[in-house]
Amino acid sequence: MVTIDPCIRLKVIQSQLLPAVLKSALENTSSDIKTAIEINLPSLEEKCYELAEKCKEKYPDCGKEIELCKAENIKTAFIRTREKLDKIWIERELQGKETAGTDL
């Protein structure tokens, strides 16, 4: 089994996974967005804190190169992602209400 360096995993989360969550929310159903907000993001955020600790142990200066090696940057990245997901959720809810109103 291959073990991926924690620093590389943080890079992938920042550059690929978080953008993919947002893209998926734009393309999928409202329930998918709610799941991302309530379940997936909190568990991913916790994993990032764990990875950041491991990364700092291995490479004390990792925060200079990898943004998510710093706890405050993890918190900020996930707050922004949640805000974007919340906005998508609200827009989806409004669209659903507008569509329901035109079905009469």
In a domain? residue 1: no
CA 73 to chain centre: 12
In a domain? residue 66: yes
pLDDT at residue 26, rounded to an integer: 84
Which residue range forms the structural domain that includes residue 15?
6-98
pLDDT at residue 51, rounded to an integer: 94
pLDDT at residue 30, rounded to an integer: 67
Task: Check: CB of residue 85 under 8 Å from CB of residue 21.
Answer: yes
Structural domain tally of the chain? 1
**Cα three-residue angle 65-66-71, rounded to 5 degrees:** 125
In a domain? residue 104: no
pTM for the model:
0.82
In a domain? residue 46: yes
pLDDT at residue 2, rounded to an integer: 66
pLDDT in tens, the chain (104 residues): 667 889 999 999 999 999 988 888 888 776 777 777 888 899 999 999 999 999 989 888 888 888 899 999 999 999 999 999 889 888 888 887 777 666 55
